[in-house]
Amino acid sequence: YNNLGNALVAKQKIEEAISHYKMAIKLNPTLAIIHYNLGIALVAEGKNEEAISHYKMAIGLKPDYAEVHYNLGNVLLNKGRTSEAISHYKMAIKLNPDFALAHNNLGSALSAERKIEEAISHYKMAIELKPGWADAYFNTGVALRKEGNTREAIFYYKMAIELKPGYADAYNNLG
């Protein structure tokens, strides 16, 4: 049922996938990956509270599952539960220090909490881990600009544009 759920997600048949994941959980409730997959599908359907519940079940079953901590952080951040999101991003990074997406999103969460200097260090780590990622350059630029460092922010916006020509937000922030 889990594999069928994955195939249905790939075909954008999310509702069907959810029912297959739920059947898989009935048959084997202790497999963290099924709760994780169900969480992803639930988020795609906008069922965030139910997704949070399944992500937490997955973590309960497999506490060292970095991707679950990361996805849970994303849902929590989108719901405005920033401090909880930060703790899950930090756990994802503790479990997988090379997790560029987690560094970037931790930077966004820290920026939302006005912890700009710490946010910048995580954005820069994301760039170090994934040098061709325009969004990480853009986010670094935004944070630097918040800090009042316009000159360095411009460099990061230009890098974002170099990596992703037509990056409208980066052009816009250049003025």
pLDDT tens digits along 134-147: 999 999 999 999 99
Residue with tokens 């965030």: 48
Per-residue model confidence (pLDDT) at position 131: 96
Question: CA–CA separation, 54 vs 73, rounded Å?
Answer: 13
Write the DSSP string, the chain.
Answer: -HHHHHHHHHTT-HHHHHHHHHHHHHH-TT-HHHHHHHHHHHHHTT-HHHHHHHHHHHHHH-TT-HHHHHHHHHHHHHTT-HHHHHHHHHHHHHH-TT-HHHHHHHHHHHHHTT-HHHHHHHHHHHHHHSTT-HHHHHHHHHHHHHTT-HHHHHHHHHHHHHHSTT-HHHHHHH-
- Cα–Cα distance list, 61 to 28, 33, 54, 85 (Å): 12, 9, 11, 19
Q: How many CB atoms lie under 10 A from the CB of residue 2? A: 20
Assess whether pLDDT exceeds 90 at residue 175.
no
Residue 3's pLDDT is 78
Query: Tens digits of per-residue pLDDT, 10-62?
Result: 898 999 999 999 999 999 999 999 999 999 999 999 999 999 999 999 999 99
Residues in the chain: 175
- CB within 8 A of 54, min separation 6: which ones? 35, 36, 38, 39, 42
The pLDDT value given to residue 23: 94
**What local confidence, expressed as pLDDT, does residue 6 receive?**
75
- In the structure encoding, which two tokens stand for residue 10, read together? 């790939």
**How far does the chain reach from its first CA to its final CA, in angstroms?**
51
- Encode pLDDT of 74-98 as tens digits: 999 999 999 999 999 999 999 999 9
Q: With 90 as the cut, is the pLDDT of residue 2 above it? A: no
Q: What is the pLDDT of residues 92-141, one digit of tens each?
A: 999 999 999 999 999 999 999 999 999 999 999 999 999 999 999 999 99
146-174 residue pLDDT tens: 999 999 999 999 999 999 999 999 999 99
